[in-house]
């Protein structure tokens, strides 16, 4: 796994590099937004750790340009800003998670592991299964010519099931890959979301795409 750290505070930058290398990550470090943007758009990283306040280009501008280049690498923002409007702005820019300074390395490591567990974008922009069309970029779902309105979480579940088409996906798989690290592993949240998703996707159709297998998980077959 390869991580890019864009942080202008030398001591923090070097401590994070050392600690992550001890966790067996490959780590590149830079001190300004220009250099960070160059590396982020010319190399393949599994995670980008991006400081909000940077010289040359700030973290907000770097994130905006990364997403403009259609690069979906998870971005964790390091910031001292915690007002609701600041957090909303970060997520609208395409940040996957953020962490408030100062922080414990263990917390950062947990957030890195969490974003790495989330499903990556499906490669094809449009996926067809039977009479179901899934448009990943526009987050549109159509079956039998009719648009299906899904919640963001239902859409993420459907994408994960499609990504693992033909494979059994357990409730634990969904909790680990679609929910964040604070999800209740013993709750009925997965079952409830699947039930609602199945009603929307399979309701009124003879062929049922989302199947339950031996009460141990879910599968979408071609």
> Mind listing the pLDDT tens digit for each residue in 152-199?
889 889 988 988 888 899 988 888 777 755 555 555 788 889 999 999
pLDDT in tens, 99-148: 989 999 999 999 998 888 766 555 556 788 888 988 877 788 999 889 99
Non-local (6+) Cβ contacts of 204 within 8 A are none
What are the boundaries of each domain within the chain? 2-117, 126-220
How many percent of the chain have pLDDT more than 90? 48
Check residue 126 and give its pLDDT: 77
- Answer yes or no: CATH 1.10.10.10 is held by domain 126-220: yes
Tokens standing for 100? 């408030």
Q: What is the pLDDT of residue 162?
A: 87
Helix-then-strand count for the chain, H and E = 8, 11
Q: What is the pTM of this model?
A: 0.58
The CA-atom distances, in angstroms, between 39 and each of 48, 117, 192, 206, 214 are 10, 23, 42, 50, 47
pLDDT on residue 17 = 95
2-117: CATH number? 3.40.50.2300
Find the mean pLDDT for residues 22-37. Answer: 93
Tokens of 104: 């414990």
């Amino acid at each position: 796994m390869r991580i890019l750290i864009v942080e202008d505070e030398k001591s923090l930058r070097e401590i994070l590099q050392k600690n992550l290398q001890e966790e067996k990550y490959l780590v590149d470090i830079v001190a300004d937004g220009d250099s960070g943007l160059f590396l982020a758009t010319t190399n393949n990283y599994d995670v980008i750790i991006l400081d909000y306040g940077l010289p040359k280009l700030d973290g907000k501008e770097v994130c905006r340009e990364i997403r403009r280049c259609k690069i979906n690498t998870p971005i964790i923002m390091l910031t001292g800003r915690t007002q609701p409007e600041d957090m909303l702005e970060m997520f609208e820019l395409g940040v996957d998670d953020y962490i408030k300074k100062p922080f414990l390395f263990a917390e950062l490591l947990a957030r890195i592991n969490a974003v790495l567990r989330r499903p990556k974008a499906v490669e094809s922009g449009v996926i067809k299964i039977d009479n179901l069309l899934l448009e990943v970029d526009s987050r549109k779902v159509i079956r039998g010519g009719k648009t299906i309105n899904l919640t963001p979480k239902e859409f993420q579940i459907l994408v994960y099931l499609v990504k693992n088409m033909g494979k059994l996906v357990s409730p634990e798989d969904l909790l680990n890959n679609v929910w964040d690290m604070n999800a209740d592993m013993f709750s009925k949240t997965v079952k409830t979301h699947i039930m609602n998703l199945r009603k929307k996707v399979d309701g009124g159709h003879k062929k049922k795409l989302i199947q339950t297998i031996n009460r141990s998980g879910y599968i979408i077959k071609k």
